[in-house]
C-alpha cells in the first residue's frame, strides 16, 4: 500500500511540480538520468495540453493492466510481477506508449504527449498494480471467504475463532462461496442477486478501509515531501527508468544510447534463451536464478550457514546502480556478516537447536526497524515543528499555498486516524495493538523511496550485486 503514495511523490519529486503548475516553456529538467551528467533539456514553447488526455488514456489502460496482473499472478500463477520493486506491466505499457508517442510526434508534434502526461498515466498504472497486486486485494479475496468455506467439524474452526470474525467483514453464505470457489455461475442468473448481495457488504467496507489508508498515505506524503526531497535528498531509484524513458529528448538520450541497448540486449538474450529452454530443453539454459549455497555446505559448522542464495538478475543489478553506494554495499556486506555469525555460533556452540537463539537475526531486524524509525522522527523534529507552525499560521505564513496544503493534509490525516480507530474498535482490536500495528505500517513508508529494492536484492542477489 505505501507504493500508492510513493509512486506519485517520487516521480514528481524528480520531475518537479512545476510541470503541473507552469507551461512547458517555463520548465527546465536539468539532470540527464541516463548519463548522470547535468545538461539543459530542450524546452518546447507551446501551450500545455490539458491532462484530460492522460486521464482518458489511463482509464483505458488501468483495466487492461489489472486484468493482466490478476490473470498472471492469480489465475495462472506464473509470475509475481508486483512482488518486484519495479512493477513489470506499467513499465512495459509505458514503453509501448512512449514508442507510439514518438510516432505521433513525427506526424503531428503538437499532438504528442508531454512527459508529465506520460508520467501521470504511469502513476495510474502503478497505483492499479498496488491494489491488484500481491498482499493487497489478491489476499483480501482469499481472506473474506476462506474461513467459512473451509470450516468443517474436523478442524473445529467455528468454535475456535469464528467469534473473532465480524460477519460484516467476511462472506458467510455457503451458496455464495460455492459460486466463487467452484465457478460455473453467473451474476445474471437466477441467484445472481443473492451472490452479489453476499459479497457487496464486506467488499464495500474493506474498500472504504483501503481508500482511507490511501488518503492517509497521500496526506503523509504532502507533509514529508520537502523533508525527503530537499533535506534528506532521497534518490528514489525505482523512478529513474520511467523518467528517462519519457524525457523530452529520450529519443536521443535514452533510446539512442548504445550503453542502454547493450544492457537491454544482455538481459533480453538471457530471458530469450531461458524461455527457449523451457519450450525446448535441448537449448542450453543460462541459469541466473537463485542457487542455494546451503546445499554445498554439508559439514559442521558450515552447514549452519542457512539459506544463502546467489543469483544474477540483470534488472536487480541495474536498479542497484541507482541506489546510494553505502546502501547497496550494506545489502551485500551485512548479509555475508549474518551468515558468518551463524557459522561462528555453530562453531562455538551458541546456536539454539530450535533456531530461535544466536544470532537472533529476527530480533536484530526488529530492533533495527524500531531504531531507524525513532532516529528518523528525532532528526526531523525541527522540520515537523515548522510544518505545524506553517499550518497554524495559514495565510500569515511565508508560503501561504504550502501552509494550506499542510493544513488540509493534517486535517485529512486526523480524519483518517479517527476512521481507522473506529474501525479497529468495531472489530474488537485493542488500542495498544492498533497503535503498534498501524505505527509500524505507516513508519514503513519512509524507507522504501531509498531502499525499496533492498528486500529483493538482499535475498535475490545477495552475492555479486556490488557495483
Burial of 371 (0-12, 13-18, 19+ CB in 10 A): exposed
Residues 196 and 345 in one domain: no
Is 71 within the bounds of a domain? yes
Residues 152 and 231 in one domain: yes
Residues 251 and 336 in one domain: no
- Count other Cβ atoms within 10 Å, centred on residue 295: 10
Q: Could you tell me the CA-to-CA distances from 8 to 11, 79, 207 in Å, in that order?
A: 5, 25, 21
Please report which confidence band the pLDDT of residue 47 belongs to, taking 50, 70 and 90 as the band edges.
low
Is 17 within the bounds of a domain? yes
Residues 406 and 449 in one domain: yes
What pLDDT, on a 0 to 100 scale, did the predictor assign at position 464? 33
pLDDT at 176 over 60: yes
pLDDT at 395 over 70: no
Question: Total domain count for the chain?
Answer: 2
Q: How far apart are the C-alpha atoms of 410 and 221, rounded to whole Å? A: 11
Residues 45 and 185 in one domain: yes
What pLDDT, on a 0 to 100 scale, did the predictor assign at position 354? 55
Beta bridge partners of 292: 309
Which three cell numbers, joined as nine digits, stand for 104? 505521433
R_g of the chain computed on alpha carbons: 25
Is 467 within the bounds of a domain? no
Which three cell numbers, joined as nine digits, stand for 343? 557459522
Which three cell numbers, joined as nine digits, stand for 420? 481507522
Residues 414 and 370 in one domain: yes
Residues 235 and 292 in one domain: no
Residues 250 and 291 in one domain: no
pLDDT at 29 over 60: no
Is 355 within the bounds of a domain? yes
Residues 302 and 195 in one domain: no
**Could you list the residue range(s) of the whole structural domain that residue 338 is in?**
287-460
Q: How far apart are the C-alpha atoms of 250 and 248, rounded to whole Å? A: 6
Residues 133 and 51 in one domain: yes
Q: What is the mean pLDDT of residues 173-199?
A: 82
pLDDT at 43 over 50: no
* Strands 291-292 and 309-310, sheet pairing: antiparallel
Who's near 91: CB < 8 A, 6+ residues apart? Answer: 241, 242
Q: Count the alpha carbons within 13 Å of 309 in the hemisphere toward its beta carbon.
A: 13
Q: How far apart are the C-alpha atoms of 336 and 462, rounded to whole Å? A: 8
Is 276 within the bounds of a domain? no
What pLDDT, on a 0 to 100 scale, did the predictor assign at position 450? 46
pLDDT at 12 over 80: no
Q: What is the mean pLDDT of residues 402-422?
A: 92
pLDDT digits (tens, 9 = 90+) for 135-164: 788 888 888 989 999 999 899 998 999 988
Kindly report the average pLDDT of the chain as a whole number: 80
What pLDDT, on a 0 to 100 scale, did the predictor assign at position 2? 53
Is 62 within the bounds of a domain? yes
What pLDDT, on a 0 to 100 scale, did the predictor assign at position 242? 93
Residues 189 and 293 in one domain: no
Is 271 within the bounds of a domain? no
pLDDT at 301 over 60: yes
Q: Count the alpha carbons within 13 Å of 94 in the hemisphere toward its beta carbon.
A: 28
Q: How far apart are the C-alpha atoms of 262 and 61, rounded to whole Å? A: 30
In three-state form (DSSP H/G/I as H, E/B as E, the rest C), the secondary structure along the chain is: CHHHHHHHHHHHHHCCCHHHHCCHHHCCCCECCCCCCECCCCCCCCCCCCCHHHHHHHHHHHHHHHHHHHHHHHHCCCCCHHHCCCCHHHHHHHHHHHHHHHHHHHHCHHHCCCHHHHHHHHHHHHHHHHHHCCCCHHHHHHHHHHHHHHCCCCCCHHHHCHHHCCHHHCCCCHHHHHHHHHCCCCCCCCCHHHHHHHHHHHHHHHHHHHHHHHHHHHHHHHHHHHHHHHHCCCCCHHHHHHHHHHCCCHHHHCCCCHHHHHHHHHHHHHHHHHHHHHHCCCCCCCCCCCEEHHHCCCCCCHHHHCCCEECCCHHHHHHHCCCCHHHHHHHHHHHHHHHHHHHHHHHCCCCCCCCCCCCCHHHHHHHHHHHHHHHHHHHCHHHHHHHHHHHHHHHHCCCHHHHHHHHHHHHHHHHHHHHHHHHHHHHCCCHHHHHHHHHHHHHCCCCHHHHCCHHHHHHHCCCCCCC
pTM of the model: 0.77
pLDDT digits (tens, 9 = 90+) for 187-225: 777 777 888 888 899 999 999 999 999 899 899 989 988
Query: Can you tell me which residue has the cell 536484492?
Result: 457
Dihedral sign of CA atoms 297, 302, 305, 309 in order:
negative
pLDDT at 26 over 80: no
Is 211 within the bounds of a domain? no
What pLDDT, on a 0 to 100 scale, did the predictor assign at position 355? 52
Q: What is the mean pLDDT of residues 256-278?
A: 91
Residues 113 and 230 in one domain: yes
Q: Could you tell me the CA-to-CA distances from 138 to 142, 186, 248 in Å, in that order?
A: 7, 21, 37
pLDDT digits (tens, 9 = 90+) for 52-104: 999 999 999 999 999 999 888 888 877 777 888 888 899 999 999 999 999 99
Amino acid at each position: 500500500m505505501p507504493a500508492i503514495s510513493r509512486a506519485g511523490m517520487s516521480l514528481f519529486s524528480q520531475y518537479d511540480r512545476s510541470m503541473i503548475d507552469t507551461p512547458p516553456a517555463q520548465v527546465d529538467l536539468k539532470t540527464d538520468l541516463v548519463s548522470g551528467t547535468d545538461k539543459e533539456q530542450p524546452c518546447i514553447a507551446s501551450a500545455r495540453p490539458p491532462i484530460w488526455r492522460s486521464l482518458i488514456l489511463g482509464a483505458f489502460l488501468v483495466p487492461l493492466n489489472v486484468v493482466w496482473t490478476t490473470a498472471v499472478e492469480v489465475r495462472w500463477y506464473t509470475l509475481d510481477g508486483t512482488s518486484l520493486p519495479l512493477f513489470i506491466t506499467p513499465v512495459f505499457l509505458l514503453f509501448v506508449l512512449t514508442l507510439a508517442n514518438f510516432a505521433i510526434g513525427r506526424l503531428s508534434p503538437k499532438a504528442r504527449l508531454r512527459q508529465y502526461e506520460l508520467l501521470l498515466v504511469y502513476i495510474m498504472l502503478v497505483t492499479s498494480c498496488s491494489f491488484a497486486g500481491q498482499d493487497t486485494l489478491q489476499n483480501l479475496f482469499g481472506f473474506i471467504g476462506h474461513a467459512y468455506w473451509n470450516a468443517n467439524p474436523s478442524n473445529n474452526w467455528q468454535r475456535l475463532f469464528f467469534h473473532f470474525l465480524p460477519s460484516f467483514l467476511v462472506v458467510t453464505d455457503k451458496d455464495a462461496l460455492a459460486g466463487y470457489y467452484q465457478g460455473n455461475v453467473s451474476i445474471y442468473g437466477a441467484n445472481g442477486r443473492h451472490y452479489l448481495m453476499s459479497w457487496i457488504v464486506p467488499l464495500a467496507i474493506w474498500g472504504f478501509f483501503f481508500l482511507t489508508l490511501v488518503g492517509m498515505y497521500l496526506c503523509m506524503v504532502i507533509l514529508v515531501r520537502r523533508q525527503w526531497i530537499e533535506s534528506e535528498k532521497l534518490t528514489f531509484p525505482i523512478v529513474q527508468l520511467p523518467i528517462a524513458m519519457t524525457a523530452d529528448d529520450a529519443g536521443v538520450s535514452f533510446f539512442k544510447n548504445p550503453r542502454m541497448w547493450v544492457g537491454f540486449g544482455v538481459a533480453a538474450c538471457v530471458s530469450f534463451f531461458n524461455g527457449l529452454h523451457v519450450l525446448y530443453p535441448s537449448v542450453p539454459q543460462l541459469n541466473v536464478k537463485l542457487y542455494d549455497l546451503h546445499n554445498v555446505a554439508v559439514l559442521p559448522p558450515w552447514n549452519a550457514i542457512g539459506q544463502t542464495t546467489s543469483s544474477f538478475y540483470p534488472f536487480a543489478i541495474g536498479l542497484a546502480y541507482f541506489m546510494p553506494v553505502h546502501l547497496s554495499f550494506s545489502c551485500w556486506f551485512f548479509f555475508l556478516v549474518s551468515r558468518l555469525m551463524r557459522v561462528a555460533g555453530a562453531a562455538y556452540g551458541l546456536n539454539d537447536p530450535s533456531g530461535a537463539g544466536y544470532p537472533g537475526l529476527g530480533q536484530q531486524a526488529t530492533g533495527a526497524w524500531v531504531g531507524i524509525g525513532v532516529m528518523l522522527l528525532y532528526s526531523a523534529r525541527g522540520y515537523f515543528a515548522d510544518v505545524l507552525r506553517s499550518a497554524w499560521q495559514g495565510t500569515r505564513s511565508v508560503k501561504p499555498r504550502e501552509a494550506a496544503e499542510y493544513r488540509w493534509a493534517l486535517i485529512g490525516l486526523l480524519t483518517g486516524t479517527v476512521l481507522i480507530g473506529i474501525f479497529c474498535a468495531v472489530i474488537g482490536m485493542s488500542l495498544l495493538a492498533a497503535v503498534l500495528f498501524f505505527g509500524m505500517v505507516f513508519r514503513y513508508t519512509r524507507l522504501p523511496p531509498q531502499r525499496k529494492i533492498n528486500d529483493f536484492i538482499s535475498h535475490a542477489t545477495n552475492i555479486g550485486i556490488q557495483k
